């Protein structure tokens, strides 16, 4: 939720270069925050309660979301046979091959449709119900989805399978905006970038777990597939047991709920009672709360109003483009072709399945490596390097797949290109889009910005899922050219428009004149204008 009066005042200042102070109060707030934040002391850092929050989000949201994304692929032939048999037994329906394929398309696509709806609920849930309550509601939805999927075969109900996949999409969509928002607000300043990588890390691990459990020797069988597709129940049950001790977001308490006592208690739990970092954050939040409440008119602001604002238009565009690039850069196409690539190299079905899992392991390793990378490396550099690697690897894939029938060594070149693509994707296009919205937006519009990013991400996923099979049928391996072209455009966009957000303040407004002038001087050599550096100097870990 954003104060419209404050926005009207701020919207006079463009995103790239502001010319005026917003108010004298804003200047005082930033200056005082800088002096408080500059006090270094022990305390803060990754305390037990911060790790508790991260673990709860991983088990209750990130892992189940990734698990549901990948679990349906391996046993799909078994499940499709069951769907045909169940409809015949229950309703006496004899499906043709075309009807059965269309019904399966509904089962698959409803997951993404549910995710789009879940991602669009961001501002409503996060600001009205609160961060912790929203997480609890999402956990309960996850449990309901798991029970529907676990019981569909025993009940002989295709409807339970369809509703279960739709609800699993709902909670996955909610997770894509709620987890980055919550962890950004509870994490200490010096690791807030790392907090943003928790979601892609958990999703990648969840996909890998589903791939391993889906093997024929484990749960990918006729008898065990319901336990496979509903296997995320145990994860979320642990998160539910952890939830009563989950700390509330101090930012939400101070700036949205206006409950300073609860916010102070949350800060003391997260940073330690004697931490001067907690004192600095509390003072900053109090000042920002006072500034927001001093505005004469306040009302909710939505996506359209933010897009009309000069200050928030460009951050919204950046958020949309980066989240779209995550899906439209070709990652799904690469994994679609992975089995064909491995089979072309002479691997049998079981070996190809094992190789695909190996690719998932590589994806997970890159998610681990992304944690220190996003803490120390510039976001722009990670994105540009990732785009370049992905473009080059897809070009090599197109050439090697085209030459596979006539050159025996081409499949092995394709395997190398596939692995390199996964590595390149994992350092930039994979993790960075999830965290950029938390760093581009101040507290007020952050929930809206993250929700827009999540909705765009899942919407792009749906577009690729619906169009890629048709494009692939027409163009075969040359279907990669669409993703190569889009990735090139994304690279130009990142170089030209995306600001550097490493070590930027996640509490104060995006820019003030003094901070912008300082950043303009530092970046004048390359023509890049950054969002201001953090006004609260990180406390040592």
Nearest to 135 by CA among 173, 164, 174: 174
**Cα–Cα distance for residue pair 379/381, rounded to 1 Å:** 5
pLDDT of residue 44: 52
**Cα–Cα distance for residue pair 535/63, rounded to 1 Å:** 34
Count of residues in the chain: 541
DSSP assigned state of 476: G
Q: What does the block give as tokens for 191?
A: 């690791």
Above pLDDT 90, what percent of the chain? 35
The angle at the Cα of 91, spanning 87 to 97, to the nearest 5 degrees, equals: 40
Question: Which parts of the chain sit beneath pLDDT 50?
Answer: 1-43, 296-299, 509-541
How far is residue 516 CA from its own chain's centroid? 28
18 phi, psi to nearest 5 deg: -90, 150
Domains 28-289 and 305-530 share a fold: yes
pTM value is 0.81
Q: What does the block give as tokens for 353?
A: 């399945």
What does the domain layout of the chain look like in residue ranges? 28-289, 305-530
The residues near 167 (Cβ < 8 Å, ≥ 6 apart) are 114, 141, 144, 145, 148
CB 189 within 8 A of CB 534: yes
**Cα–Cα distance for residue pair 450/503, rounded to 1 Å:** 19
How far is residue 12 CA from its own chain's centroid? 31
Nearest to 190 by CA among 272, 277, 255: 277
**Cα–Cα distance for residue pair 43/274, rounded to 1 Å:** 7
pLDDT of residue 255: 84
DSSP assigned state of 406: T
User: What CATH code is assigned to 305-530?
Assistant: 1.20.1250.20
Residue with tokens 């926005």: 7
**Cα–Cα distance for residue pair 140/152, rounded to 1 Å:** 19
How far is residue 38 CA from its own chain's centroid? 31
Question: Please, what sign has the CA dihedral across residues 179, 195, 110, 81?
Answer: negative
pLDDT of residue 356: 81
CB 210 within 8 A of CB 360: no
How many angstroms separate the Cα of 238 from the Cα of each of 60, 61, 83, 503?
A: 8, 11, 31, 33
Q: Which fold has domain 28-289?
A: Growth Hormone; Chain: A; (1.20.1250)
Interval 158-177: pLDDT, tens = 999 999 999 999 999 999 88
């Amino acid at each position: 939720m954003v104060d419209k009066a404050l926005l009207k005042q701020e919207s006079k200042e463009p995103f790239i270069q502001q010319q005026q102070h917003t108010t004298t109060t804003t200047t005082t707030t930033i200056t005082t925050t800088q002096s408080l934040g500059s006090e270094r002391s022990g305390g803060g850092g990754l305390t037990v309660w911060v790790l508790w929050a991260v673990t709860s989000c991983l088990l209750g949201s990130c892992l189940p979301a990734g698990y549901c994304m990948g679990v349906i692929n391996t046993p799909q032939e078994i499940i499709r046979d069951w769907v045909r048999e169940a409809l015949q037994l229950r309703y006496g329906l004899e499906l043709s091959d075309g009807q059965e394929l269309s019904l399966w398309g509904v089962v698959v696509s409803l997951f993404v449709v549910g995710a789009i709806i879940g991602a669009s609920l961001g501002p409503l849930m996060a600001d009205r119900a609160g961060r912790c309550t929203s997480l609890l509601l999402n956990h309960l939805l996850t449990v309901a989805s798991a029970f529907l999927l676990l019981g569909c075969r025993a009940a002989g109900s295709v409807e339970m399978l369809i509703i279960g996949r739709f609800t699993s999409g709902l909670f996955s969509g909610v997770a894509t905006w709620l987890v980055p928002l919550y962890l950004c607000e509870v994490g200490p300043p010096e690791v807030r970038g790392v907090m943003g990588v928790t979601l892609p890390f958990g999703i990648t691990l969840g996909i890998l777990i589903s791939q391993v459990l889906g093997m024929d020797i484990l749960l990918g069988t006729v008898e065990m597939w319901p336990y496979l597709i509903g296997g995320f129940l145990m994860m979320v049950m642990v998160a539910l047991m952890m939830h009563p001790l989950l700390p509330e977001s101090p930012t939400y308490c101070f700036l949205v709920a206006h409950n300073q006592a609860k916010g102070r208690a949350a800060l003391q739990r997260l940073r330690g009672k004697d931490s001067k970092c907690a004192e600095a954050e509390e003072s900053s939040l109090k000042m920002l709360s006072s500034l927001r409440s001093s505005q004469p008119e306040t009302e909710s602001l939505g996506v359209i109003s933010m897009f009309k604002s000069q200050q928030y238009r460009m951050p919204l565009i950046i958020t949309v483009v980066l989240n779209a690039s995550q899906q439209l850069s070709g990652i799904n196409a690469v994994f679609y072709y992975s089995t064909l690539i491995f089979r072309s190299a002479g691997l049998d079905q079981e070996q190809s399945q094992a190789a695909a899992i190996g690719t998932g392991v590589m994806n997970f390793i890159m998610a681990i490596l992304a944690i220190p990378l996003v803490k120390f490396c510039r976001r722009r550099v990670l994105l540009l390097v990732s785009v370049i690697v992905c473009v080059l690897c897809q070009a090599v894939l197109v050439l090697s797949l085209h030459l596979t029938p006539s050159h025996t060594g081409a499949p092995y070149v394709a395997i190398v290109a596939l692995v390199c693509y996964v590595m390149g994707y994992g350092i930039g296009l994979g993790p960075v889009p999830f965290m950029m919205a938390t760093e581009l937006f101040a507290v007020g519009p952050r929930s809206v910005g993250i929700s827009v990013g999540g909705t765009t991400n899942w919407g792009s996923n749906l577009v690729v899922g619906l169009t890629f099979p048709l494009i692939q049928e027409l163009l075969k391996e040359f279907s990669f050219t669409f993703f190569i072209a889009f990735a090139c455009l994304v690279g130009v966009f990142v170089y030209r428009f995306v600001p550097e957000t490493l070590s930027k303040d996640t509490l104060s407004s995006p820019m003030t004149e003094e901070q912008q002038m300082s950043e303009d001087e530092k970046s004048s050599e390359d023509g890049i204008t950054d969002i201001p550096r953090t006004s609260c100097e990180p406390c040592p870990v």
